[in-house]
Homo-oligomer: A and B are copies of this chain.
Amino acid sequence: MMLAMLVNDPFAGTLALLALIWIAAKLGGEVAVRLGLPSVAGELTAGLGLAALREVLPGFPDVAGSHGADVLANLGVILLMFAVGLESTVAQMLKVGAASLRVAALGVVLPMGAGLLGAKFLLPTGTPFLVDLFIGACLCATSIGISVQVLRERGAARSAEGRVIVGAAVIDDVLGLLVLVMVSGLVAASEGGGLPWASLGRTLALALVFLVAALTLGRLATPRLFQLASRLRSEQLLLPLGLAFAFLLAWLSGLAGLAPIVGAYAAGLILEPAHVELLEEREAHSLESLLHPLVMVMAPVFFVLMGARVDVRALVEPSTLLFAGVLGVLGIAGKLVAGYGAGRGLRAPVVGWGMVPRGEVGLIFVAVGAQSMFQGAPLLSPGIQAGIVGAILLTTVAGPMALGRLLRREAPAGSPDRP
């Protein structure tokens, strides 16, 4: 009935789904915490559980398909990265720049090579080299949100290893983008196009221009912008304007081809306490403390949805499981060895495990491979897709578990560095 449709707010269903997500996140987190694991591992698993329930109970709500929850999830990871950026300065990040660059470069080359060789041995002979190469490429991504959450929970976000991990993830985003452009270009070239040198050059230039401009021009403009804002007489300016700044940089980084989280992180790096001092005094709250409840509410939605989006049914084939297991182990090994690129004085296993989760970034690679046509068929067959997704899942769940255990053992979290 039309009347009922208009009166019964369709948004009400989104509210119920969000409540379900938070309850699932907290129950999953509780189990994880009691097992000594970081709560984000429990939230991911809770999401997987919701996906599995939907396979068993046909009427079960479709958490992964909710647009409203998707919006909060996307905002959650943006806000998380902004908060992490606020905990560091540009100078601190430049100090670990060389270590981050080594970890990122090794973390792209090693898993890609290992994945390529693994695919060559596991897949039937005659599989085109490009397929092996693309499988390797899917293993070079890093999903930094998960590790950041673990670092915060264990009070290690401001540690040298924490900074190297986040810095390497930013560089990894640029490198991953180049790999994707290159591999997709090779596919197109094999179908008759030219090699994608111009495209590669443009991609790299755009990403670098964004990063350099944000960290130089942005840093010059920010103090003036917020001083201007502190002349306004209205209340409650700090958080909305701080978010507007972070979201504009996130949008620009998207325009430059990078992930929006890179821009949000850069915004946090650029913003120093001194810039917002006047507003913080007037509102009697720091930007970080105002941001904290937003992250607390939205980040779990991101992690639960990441778990809930897994196609549980495609994973249970035995041959898929074997392929996924081997690829996953290779992907983990590649990033662990890359962790030694951090150099002396840093705990290589902490850095390596921090780079392990592939999460949604790896899934974007798979989606590109699934939609690329090669010799009249999708480059990645559905079976291969399911295998890579399984490997990504393995890295995504094992990463936070191992990182959480390592950080608890090596540096007991006496004072978690949450605001």
Contacts and interface: CB of A to CB of B under 8 A. Distances in A.
A26 B234 contact: yes
Nearest to A153: B235
A294 interface: yes
Interface in A372-388: none
Between A13, A18, A239, the greatest number of chain B beta carbons within 10 A of the residue's beta carbon is seen for A18
Interface in A254-295: 254-255, 257, 259-260, 290-294
A9 interface: yes
Contacts of A415: none
Interface residues of A, number: 71
A325 to B, nearest CB: 27
Contact of A68 (B22, B71, B244, B259): B71
Interface stretch (A27-35, A123-131, A340-348, A392-400): A27-35
A15 interface: yes
Nearest to A21: B244
A211 to B, nearest CB: 16
Between A180, A229, A254, the greatest number of chain B beta carbons within 10 A of the residue's beta carbon is seen for A254
Interface string A181-202: 1001000000000000000000
Given A3-B181, A15-B250, A233 B297 contact: no
A39 interface: yes
Contacts of A9: 254, 259-260
Interface stretch (A89-97, A160-168, A363-371): A363-371
A209 interface: no
A32 to B, nearest CB: 8
Interface in A4-58: 4, 6-9, 11-16, 18-20, 22-23, 25-26, 29-30, 33-34, 39
B233 A33 contact: yes
A124 to B, nearest CB: 28
B368 A3 contact: yes
Contacts of A34: 233
Interface in A63-82: 67-68, 71-72, 74-75, 78
A213 interface: no
Nearest to A285: B293
Contacts of A240: 22, 25-26, 296-297, 300
A269 B241 CA distance: 31
A243 interface: yes
A247 interface: yes
A237 B296 CA distance: 9
Given A12-B250, A294-B297, 15 more contacts: A3-B368, A6-B364, A13-B254, A15-B247, A15-B254, A19-B243, A19-B247, A20-B244, A22-B240, A23-B244, A26-B240, A33-B233, A72-B75, A239-B296, A292-B293
7 contacts: A6-B371, A13-B251, A15-B78, A16-B251, A22-B240, A293-B293, A294-B297
